[in-house]
Amino acid sequence: MRFLVDTNRIIAALIRDSVSRRIIFHFNAELITISLAEEEIRKHKEEIITKAKVSEAEFDEIYHQLFERLTILNQDAVKRYRDKARAIMDPIDPDDTQFIAAALATNAEIWSDDHHFQQQKKIKIWRTKDVVQFIEKS
């Protein structure tokens, strides 16, 4: 099973020892993200540290552990899917188009709690509660 992990799930895992963190650490699936996720996390690092109530060193340790489990997809791999992804996602939320392109490029399903993804019908979307239910059934 291959999941493209949306930035919101990674940030949730950084902020607290949550279901998202446990899924990333322990779910036996291939977990992929895009470089945009790393950029967003770096951009909001101080805010995440404040919300998480951790030191920068603690943040860095959790970040490192999470990204050991995630494969960061090379943006060159998704270039040929951008037009198709734009047609699917730009009318809904252009900020999420790169995730659709990456999912198309890797034949992955997306794990996200962002309701915008639910509005498209080309890529299967797993909310956190869906992933938990799947794990519990396995």
Query: What are 79-97's pLDDT values in tens digits?
Result: 999 999 999 999 999 999 9
Angstrom distance (rounded) from CA 24 to CA 1: 13
* Residue with more model confidence, 48 or 78: 48
Q: Write down all domains in the chain, each with its CATH number in brackets.
A: 2-137 (3.40.50.1010)
Q: Specify the pLDDT at position 22.
A: 96
Q: Taking phi first (over 0 means left), then psi (-120 to 50 degrees means alpha), and beta for anything else, what does residue 54 get?
A: beta
Identity of the residue numbered 57 = A
DSSP SS3 for 92 = coil
Angstrom distance (rounded) from CA 134 to CA 137: 5
Angstrom distance (rounded) from CA 34 to CA 36: 5
Q: Specify the pLDDT at position 70.
A: 97
